[in-house]
Amino acid sequence: MMVYALRACLLAITLSGLVMTGGCSPITIVEQRAAIVIETLVAAAQVCGVVLSILEIRADHDLMAGQERTIRTARGELARSIRQQFAQWHLTPAEQDVGFLALKGLDVAEIADLRGSTPGTVRAQFARIYAKAGVSGRA
């Protein structure tokens, strides 16, 4: 689409150059009519360029909206899958909170601060999560 808009703009510039080079010599009626036709073509080419640009912007907007919907769907599926796994491990609500925060990349101190608990409590919750998941650590 952008190529068409550029072509329309180049056509408009070319045609406007033809009008500008008319010079100061006396213009006959035929030349006046030709100039009017050229100016009309220039205006039409500019309108085409604007319309094509608008269409391209709309297409880009629609594409981005579709991508955002896909991302939201994927996030929802991931969260649902994580909740299912936490349910299979029989994690308590507190352990689930700690697990989600850990998955987001927060460390023990940050999780403790967010939850209003001590780092020791968070480490104990991690230990219970690891035991229920059957793993030895966060790595």
Q: Of 46, 55, 36, which is closest to residue 14 (Cα–Cα)?
A: 46
Q: Pick from 31, 54, 40: which is nearest to 12 by CA?
A: 40
Per-residue pLDDT of the chain (139 residues; tens, 9 = 90+): 556 666 665 666 665 555 444 545 556 777 788 888 888 888 888 998 899 999 999 999 999 999 998 888 888 888 899 999 999 999 999 999 999 999 999 999 999 999 999 999 999 999 999 999 988 876 6
Q: State the Cα–Cα distance between residues 16 and 116, nearest whole angstrom.
A: 70
Instruction: Determine the straight-line distance between the first and last CA of the chain, rounded to whole angstroms.
Output: 48
Q: Is the pTM of this model over 0.85?
A: no
